[in-house]
Amino acid sequence: MQLIVAEKPSVARDLARVLGVRASGRHYFEGDDRVITWCIGHLVELDEPAAYDARWKAWRLDTLPMLPTAFRLRPAPHARDQLRAVTQLLADRRFTSVVNACDAGREGELIFRYLADFAGRHPPVRRLWISSLTDDAIRRGFAALRPAAQLDALGDAARARSEADWLVGMNATRAITVRGRAGGHSALYSIGRVQTPTLAMLVRREQEIRAFVPRPYWEIQGELTIPSGAAAGQRFSAGWRHGGTARLATAALAEAIAARDTARASAAHPEGPRVERLRARTVREPPPLLFDLTALQRTANRRFGFSAARTLALAQALYEQHKLLTYPRTDARHLSSDVAREMSGVFAALAEVPDYAAFAAPLVARPPRPGRRVVDDAKVRDHHAIIPTPKPAQLPALDRDERRLFDLVARRFLAAFYPDAEFAVTDVWIRVGAATGEPPPAFDADPAPGTQPRPAPHREAMQDSLPPLPDRYFARGRVRLVAGWQEVAGIDEPAGPISLLPALVEGQVLDGRFTPVAKQTTPPPHFSDATLLGAMESAGQTIDDDALRLAMKDRGLGTPATRAAIIETLVKRDYVVRIKQQLVPTALGVVLIETLPVASLASPELTGAWEARLARIARGEDSRAAFMADIARYVAETVDAIRGSAPPAAPVNAAASTGPEAGPEAATYHRSTRPSSGGHPSRRGARSPRTPRAPKLPRRTRASKPARGTRDVLDVELPCPRCQVGFLITGARGWGCSRWRDGCRFVIWFETAGRRLSAAQLRDLVTRGKTRKARFRTQSGAEIDGRLVLDLDSDGGSARLVPG
């Protein structure tokens, strides 16, 4: 008899349906020859320090470092009954084999292996390794179960990650916190192997913004006109350039250059404006790479304002619940050759969806032969890129955000099989003045797609002296000739006055008008979810090119599956606050980073190097023992350095940021530190200041107590459906938007239509636009069957009752 252990109840139900097991039972489903049970995330976890040594119960510097010789496991508090049931099944002698059907990744491997270790005896294990939850994928997976030993290297990497996080987090958190208490304040400074370097990147950006002093500068804008011929009267713009810069340090310089060029502005002037050099060519832009999780999160944040956690939750729902996407927690942006052979089914499924039929039908009729930008076995490890499954999508069954995310993936997938987009690009240098001195500048090389061709605005150099004549102005025209993949992706042709240049030839004379334009340097922007994910992916290095980012992915902070949780952890622990779409460190976060006595605790490069070693362990190229020995040595050195350092200053009750982008909310924002449920074990049991109450929402009727479970529902971020930027918070009488100070009036009252809403009803209302059918009371007092639907135009509560 076979025992199957899934990671979640929803996956267990899918397996039961496909394998013909009746999905009925509190802790497991039993069939004729199979029993299917499930975890609820981690059923066991690494034990607290006091379990190893009684001296480690108290938070004292003289008992550090804590370095267990062997790690122990304990039941996770959230699912003791399920743990008891699963361990009994694992010990049941009816079973001759066990299938590890947890998510096919590093964390899924850890969930099962910790469970098996805790249970002790269990039958031989085989591994289910699938990238989608469609019926066909499940059947194929069970027909090709892998021996568990094939995943031992991945298991070693998973254990090493978990144990390293315990060692660094427990020891550094205690050491830094106790050191702070010696300074007279009681803040709990939570340190994490990944979270602290991530916070450091946010704080360093904040320091750059604070230290930034705006500098005025001037540019000169040229408006050129063709004076005669068939194109007479056609105009275009060009900007002054000299020695690689377009900026002038003083108004006097700008005015002097504009004046001397204005004196030569006529086409009839012998030194007037003339086309000095021209380059016209066709540029091809290939389709973007397929999505991995980080690329999907970044795109969804830029396009829709979704947080990284929100995107992951939507992708997970499209994978688990709707079976429309493949496994989302992947770091691959390519497909393997065996997956590529099954693409005809995906094309056929998309061809049945009206939104994609026009693009998918040609691929069904003439299946393409994908190149190495799509299929590359060498670049696929555990899972391939995120793509649609062969299941036809019923778009009306998806809520708005699920539909938008699926649309991103579907169009990116189809676009990968379409031709390059082609552009006619024309560069032109215009000379004003006699052709003396330096020769005309060479043209820059075309930047690779996705890269920045010029330095960031706050770093560009300025011209501080008057250069000799001639002056030169640069213009670029870009016109799309062939849409190619961009038509599939829904990318419109760029519009605007600089997109098109008139037909020009070298030596052509022009009329001109030259105007100084006053500007000011701007500070670097705060991180958003999208830009922070990019920085985490490259361990803090600013990399815009896709290929270079892929080369750095082993050295990033965390993994695609964990980065969203790291960002949310920083928010929950009050080190970071979201202001609109910006991530801004709080005063507590700034003080933590600024007073760290061991700089490497906040080093993205060091943590990235550790991640690279974990990836090598997973590939069998490094050993868990060697890695853990290095971590233990690092922890001991770190504790010694903290022990010998001075206590930090207490954080002030003010915001970390007062920059112009932060806005008035940030200037007064500060939340006291509190332990977060489900967070790092080192936070449990620590005493901390009381959390301020959420802001009161507008008065409606008499006060009512929050419905049971309302606090639990906000453990998962629910986006505000009205502004699509904020998230829901719990007020005195209802749930409202976190951006209430910015004018978003979204509110759902705890008591609506004569009924106290449950956590599930709130979640359905916000994510699906309606609740399930239930018993409600009308304004006249009559009880009816109906459902609540979102009403975003209402100011008196954003839900209305619909009968039936």
pLDDT of residue 779: 75
> Which CATH number is correct for 2-159, 3.40.50.620, 2.60.40.1250, 3.30.1240.10, 3.40.50.140?
3.40.50.140
**Number of CB atoms found within 10 A of residue 268's CB:** 8
Contact present, 296 and 549 (Cβ < 8 Å): no
pLDDT of residue 272: 96
Contacts 24+ apart (CB under 8 A), 375-381: 375/334, 375/335, 375/336, 375/337, 375/340, 376/334, 376/335, 377/336, 377/337, 379/332, 379/333, 379/334, 379/550, 380/332, 380/334, 380/335, 380/336, 381/331, 381/332, 381/618, 381/619
Give bridge partners of residue 734 from the DSSP assignment.
Answer: 749
Asked if pLDDT for residue 704 goes beyond 50, the answer is no
**Residue length of the chain:** 804
pLDDT tens-digit profile of 62-120? 999 999 999 999 999 888 999 999 999 999 999 999 999 999 889 999 999 999 999 99
Mean pLDDT of 627-644: 95
- CATH code that applies to domain 293-415: 1.10.290.10
Omega before 648 within 30 of 0, i.e. cis: no
Identified catalytic residue from 327, 418, 634, 669: 327
Phi, psi of 632 (to 5 degrees): -60, -40
Distance CA 237, CA 232 (A): 15
The burial class, CB within 10 Å (0-12 / 13-18 / 19+), for 748 is buried
Q: Looking at residue 78, what DSSP letter applies?
A: G
Q: What is the mean pLDDT of the chain?
A: 84
Distance CA 136, CA 310 (A): 28
Catalytic residue list contains 114 = no
Q: Looking at residue 655, what DSSP letter applies?
A: -
Question: Where do the domains of the chain lie?
Answer: 2-159, 180-211+526-610+620-663, 216-278+428-476+503-520, 293-415, 710-803
Question: Which among 514, 517, 429, 519 has a CA at the least distance from the CA of 258?
Answer: 514
pLDDT of residue 776: 86
If one compares 150 and 605, the residue with the highest pLDDT of the two is 150
Q: Looking at residue 490, what DSSP letter applies?
A: T
Q: Is 333 helix (H, G, I), strand (E, B) or coil?
A: coil
Tokens coding 434:
């006699």
Return left, alpha or beta for 129; rule: phi > 0 is left, psi -120 to 50 is alpha, else beta.
beta
Q: How confident is residue 238, by pLDDT bands cut at 50, 70 and 90? A: very high
pLDDT tens-digit profile of 747-786? 888 888 888 888 778 888 887 788 888 888 887 778 888 8
Distance CA 657, CA 203 (A): 10
pLDDT tens-digit profile of 660-673? 333 324 322 333 33
pLDDT of residue 447: 57
Contact present, 157 and 618 (Cβ < 8 Å): yes
pLDDT tens-digit profile of 414-453? 999 999 999 999 999 999 999 887 777 777 766 555 444 4
Contact present, 471 and 260 (Cβ < 8 Å): yes
pLDDT of residue 495: 44
Asked if pLDDT for residue 485 goes beyond 80, the answer is yes
Distance CA 696, CA 460 (A): 46
pLDDT of residue 216: 94
Fold of 180-211+526-610+620-663: Topoisomerase I; domain 2 (1.10.460)
pLDDT of residue 782: 82
Q: Looking at residue 746, what DSSP letter applies?
A: -
Distance CA 411, CA 387 (A): 10
